[in-house]
Amino acid sequence: MWLWLFSLLLQLIGFLVLLVALLLVYRFKLRPTPPTVLLKKDWEKDVVYLCQFPLCPSVRSISPFALKLETWLKITGIKYENIHTMKFSSKGQIPYIELNGEQIPDSNIIIEKLKEKFQVDPDKDIPEADLAMGHAATVMIENHTAHIGFHYRYGHHMENFLKTLKLAEYYPSGKAIKNWGRVQPTMTRFRSWLHGIGRHENAEVWEMSFKDLAALSNWLGSKQYFLGSKPSTVDCMLFGHLAQFLFIDIGFPQKTFLETKCPNLVELVNRMKQELWTDWDESIEKARPKPSVN
C-alpha cells in the first residue's frame, strides 16, 4: 500500500514537472510574439520618443541608463520628447525609444541605431584606441559598478531610497511603490548572489567599486572630458551612473570615495550637469504628477 502511494506521488510530481516544462516552452518558444503597442499613437516622423520612468527629485531618474541616454540626445541635438511611463519594453527593458512607429530597447543599441539613422556621432573623430578604452569602461560600469550600486540601494537601503527620493509622491501609484519596496530587497540580494557579488561581505563589495572608480579617475586625469575637449558617449554613460552615487543622499560609500579620492570625477559630473541640464530642477517639478482632487 505505502509503496503504491509513493509510486503515485512520484508520478504526480513527474507530471507536474513535465507540465511546468511544457508551459515554459510554450511561453518562451512557441507562443506568437504579441504585436508591440506604441505609447505614442500620433507619432511624428523622425522624432525620438524617449520612454522612461517618471522623474524624481535630486537625481532626475532612478535609471542611470535613462539619464545616460537623455544626456546623449542632448549633446547630439536629435529632436526628442519624453514619455514618462512604468511600462517596460517588449524585451522587458526600460528605457526604450519609439521612432517612426518602431520600438527600440537597450540604451547601447539605441545609441548605435540613432548614430546611423541621423548620421550624428559625437565619437566620430576619436581614435580607435581611445574608443576601445571607452568600450571597456562602459562594460565595467554597466556590468559591475552599477550592480554594486543597486546592491547597496535596493538590497540594503530600499526604504531610505524610496523615502529620500519621494517616489510615492512623484510616481503615479504610491501603493505600487510601497509594494515594490517590500519585494525588491529580496530580489536584488538573490540577483547579487547569482551575479557573485552577493557572496562577499559588503565591505569587500564596496572596495571592488572603489577600484573601478579609481581606475576611471586615473584615466580621466586632468582632462575635462574622457576622450576630448567635448562630451562623448562615454561621458554621457559615466554621468548617468555616477550621478546615482552623488545625487541620491542615502549614504553611498561610493559617494564618500568619489569626493575624497576622485574629485575629478565629481567635477566632470557637475560640469556636465551645469552645461547640459540648465533646467534640471524645473523640469523635474514640471513633470511631477498633479495631486488628485477628490
Pick from 183, 176, 177, 151: which is nearest to 164 by CA?
177
Measured distance between the N- and C-terminal CA atoms of the chain, rounded to whole angstroms: 66
Q: What is the pLDDT of residue 13?
A: 72
User: pLDDT of 241-285, one tens digit each?
Assistant: 999 999 999 999 999 999 999 999 999 999 999 999 999 999 999
pTM, to two decimals = 0.88
Q: Which three cell numbers stand for residue 175?
A: 501603493
Query: Which residues, in sequence order, are bridge partners of residue 132?
Result: none
User: Do 81 and 47 contact (CB within 8 A), yes or no?
Assistant: yes
Burial class of residue 275 (count of CB atoms within 10 Å of its CB; 0-12, 13-18, 19+): exposed
Share of the chain above pLDDT 90, in %: 84
Q: If you search the block for the grid coordinates 512604468, which residue do you land on? A: 86
User: pLDDT of 30-88, one tens digit each?
Assistant: 655 667 889 999 999 999 999 999 999 999 999 999 999 999 999 999 999 999 999 99
Q: What is the DSSP letter of 134?
A: H
Q: Which three cell numbers stand for residue 214?
A: 579609481
The residue count for the chain: 294
Residues 6+ away with beta carbon under 8 Å from 7: none
Q: If you search the block for the grid coordinates 501603493, which residue do you land on? A: 175
Phi, psi of 52 (to 5 degrees): -145, 170
